[in-house]
Amino acid sequence: MAKKVNTDLIKKLLKETTHIKNNVSLIVLGINPDEMIAVINTFRNYIEGYRVFETVISQNTLTILCDDVLALEITNIYKKHIIDYRRGLSALTMIHPEKAIDTPGVLAHTLKLLADANINIIGIISCYRDISLIIKRDDAFKAKELLEKL
């Protein structure tokens, strides 16, 4: 039997675990799978000094969420592979406790709340308990305020 959506728990989780990172870039590179690890390894030495570095590897693309400064370096080196590049964005990042993984509706509730406020989600990067929603910088304060008022 499926668990019932606990909206009170969802509101508490969103309020307590969400923060904003500004001045981030979203880069999508069209690159073959064999080259993807090499790209990530190229920037391994740079990563430590930057606030943001997340990647998603799919069949023929590598999506990178990173600090705007690091994005300039990445895009200069991999110009010919760029499919999409957006800078000056914000990442609304939620780092949930373990119980959130088994709580239905956490992400759905967040997406609906933002959509109802006319805030567009440009991208989503998710890894275990961390979910980063990429939004326009102009919407960052409004998004954070919405979640704090829950």
> In this predicted model, what pLDDT tens digit does every residue of 111-130 receive, in sequence order?
998 999 999 999 999 877 78
CATH no. for residue 30?
3.30.70.1090
* Angstrom distance (rounded) from CA 95 to CA 8: 18
Domain count, the chain: 2
Decide if pLDDT at 143 tops 60: yes
> Same domain, yes or no, for 60 and 110?
no
Per-residue pLDDT tens digits for 58-113: 889 999 999 998 899 899 999 999 999 999 999 998 877 777 777 777 788 889 98
Interval 14-71: pLDDT, tens: 666 678 899 999 999 999 878 888 887 877 766 666 667 888 888 899 999 999 988 9
Does some domain include residue 118? Answer: yes
Q: Where are the alpha helices (DSSP H) in the chain?
A: 7-17, 33-42, 44-47, 68-77, 98-101, 106-116, 137-148
**Which residue's structure tokens are 């997406």?**
111
Residue type, 118: N
Distance of alpha carbon 78 from alpha carbon 117, whole angstroms: 36
pLDDT for the residue numbered 15: 61
Shared domain for 29 and 75, answered yes or no, is yes
pLDDT, position 3 = 57
Predicted TM-score (pTM) of the model is 0.82
State whether 101 and 82 are in the same domain: no
Based on the fold, state whether residues 111 and 82 are members of the same structural domain.
no
Per-residue confidence (pLDDT) for residue 80, from 0 to 100:
95
The CATH number for 93's domain is 3.30.70.260
Residue 2 lies in a domain: no
Task: Answer whether 20's CB lies under 8 Å from 134's CB.
Answer: no
Instruction: Tokens 């990445």: give the residue.
Output: 74
Beta bridge partners of 132: 93, 125
pLDDT for 37 equals 81
8 Å CB contact between 48 and 125: no
Q: In what order do the strands lie in the sheet with 53-57?
A: 53-57, 61-67, 18-30, 82-95, 130-136, 123-127
